[in-house]
Amino acid sequence: MQIQSAYSSGVQGLQSSQQGLAQATTAVAAPDPKPTAPPAQQDTVTLSSRAVDQSDKTSALVSAVESQQQGEASVKVIEAATETVGSIINIEA
């Protein structure tokens, strides 16, 4: 079993957060489907599909925030790993 270094884990987490953020922002930026019927003649199916679309946008925004927080945590891991290696080098010198 191989254990990754903290630096590698931080970089991997940062890359994952970038991918998640890209997917989430693409989902948020996607245009809403245009209604096929005028607003006065909409049935409950059309209205419920709009509610689902709004729910998808909301979950995409939540996912974007989660990806941002994952990225911030990954940066802290990278900084801690760098500081630790720097401290070890100073001790050895």
- Confidence at residue 30, expressed as pLDDT on a 0 to 100 scale: 85
The ranges of the chain with pLDDT < 70 are: 1-3, 33-54, 92-93
- Confidence at residue 33, expressed as pLDDT on a 0 to 100 scale: 67
Nearest to 5 by CA among 72, 78, 86, 76: 78
**pTM tops 0.75:** no
Determine the residue type at 31. P
Q: Which residue has the tokens 């760098």?
A: 82
- Confidence at residue 45, expressed as pLDDT on a 0 to 100 scale: 54
Question: How far are the Cα atoms of 33, 72, 75, 77, 82 from residue 10, in angstroms, in the given order?
Answer: 38, 10, 7, 5, 11
- Confidence at residue 86, expressed as pLDDT on a 0 to 100 scale: 79
- Confidence at residue 2, expressed as pLDDT on a 0 to 100 scale: 65
C-beta of residue 18 within 8 angstroms of C-beta of residue 65: no
Q: Over the stretch 42-53, which tens digit does the pLDDT of each residue have?
A: 555 555 555 556
- Confidence at residue 14, expressed as pLDDT on a 0 to 100 scale: 95
- Confidence at residue 50, expressed as pLDDT on a 0 to 100 scale: 56
